[in-house]
Amino acid sequence: MKQAIIYFALIILTLISCNDKTEKLNSMEATRSGSLNFKSGYSDVNGLKMYYEIYGQGKPLFLIHGGGSTIQTNYEKIIPLLAKNRKVIAVELQAHGRTNDRNADLTFEQDADDIAKLLKNLNIAKADFFGFSNGGTTTLQIAIRHPEIVDKIIVGSALAKRNGVPDWFWGFMSQAKLENMPEKLKEGYKKVAADTTGLQIMHDRDVKRMLNFKDISDKQIKSINALTLIIIGDKDVILPEHAIELHRQIANSELAIIPGGHGEYIGEITTITPEFKESELVVPMIEKFLNKKQK
């Protein structure tokens, strides 16, 4: 049991356009999830058929999932709340969920470039971004590599440097195996993927990315000008010291350390217990941050 819990922390860390040439609107579907209507589609993005879902109306907020995850396993609990006041665009990155694999290693830089291309395809000039875990690291890269498309960013439990996690992390990562991946994440992938044999590919790409992970330089981090909210749990796999240092290096940033573990503050699927309460999610804090005026 302990091994599975630890593995979850590891794998998570690894873990509407008018241009007919790039965006296939005729493949977009209107769907109903519970009481919530949304549109879904695929966009041609740098060799991928990238899957996305659009909820609500208002200023665009992109949700970027973590390693081993899908839109629903990370964000199902908070999408209905955020979509009351925003246009929420949730995506699935290379090899994850409904998005295919491009037969190339994953990198956070490439994920950032893919998101930038998706914005162009959807005719969105600028947006806010919320990334969790690996998605948080991707969000940092979006702010570094594509600042022109960024308004505000929220980085949840994001890793920017190798010393941001305990020493045991890297040794354990080198021994990561699919059989130790939490069942809820496996089920989440199999529920939506067109080809469930891609589960092994997703797992292996996430692990390899983390084993090859290199620090984001201080210069790059300090170059982030976007208003930034950094969130971690007080029992997160990300060390508090790492989040504090990130806060110090990003000039226009705020830091929130929330009671709970990795992703508990957004209702990530493996953290849900019988005691789960929607009132404990950080959505009000996120909305307050997103509504702030830039100085």
CATH code for the domain defined by 2-290: 3.40.50.1820
Per-residue confidence (pLDDT) for residue 291, from 0 to 100:
96
Q: Nearest-CA neighbor of 132 among 5, 292, 271?
A: 271
Per-residue confidence (pLDDT) for residue 293, from 0 to 100:
86
Q: pLDDT digits over 147-168, tens only?
A: 999 999 999 999 999 999 999 9
Q: pLDDT digits over 208-238, tens only?
A: 999 999 999 999 999 999 999 999 999 999 9
pLDDT of 13 over the 80 cut? no
**Global pTM value:** 0.90
CA within 13 Å, CB half, 256: 19
Q: From start to end of the chain, where are the E strands? A: 29-33, 36-45, 48-55, 60-64, 87-92, 127-132, 150-156, 227-233, 253-258
Region 118-141 average pLDDT: 98
pLDDT of 7 over the 50 cut? no
Q: What is the DSSP string of 63-130?
A: EE--TT--HHHHHTTTHHHHTTTSEEEEEE-TTSTTSPP-SS---HHHHHHHHHHHHHHTT---EEEE
| Token pair belonging to 200 | 């092994």
- Domains of the chain by residue range: 2-290
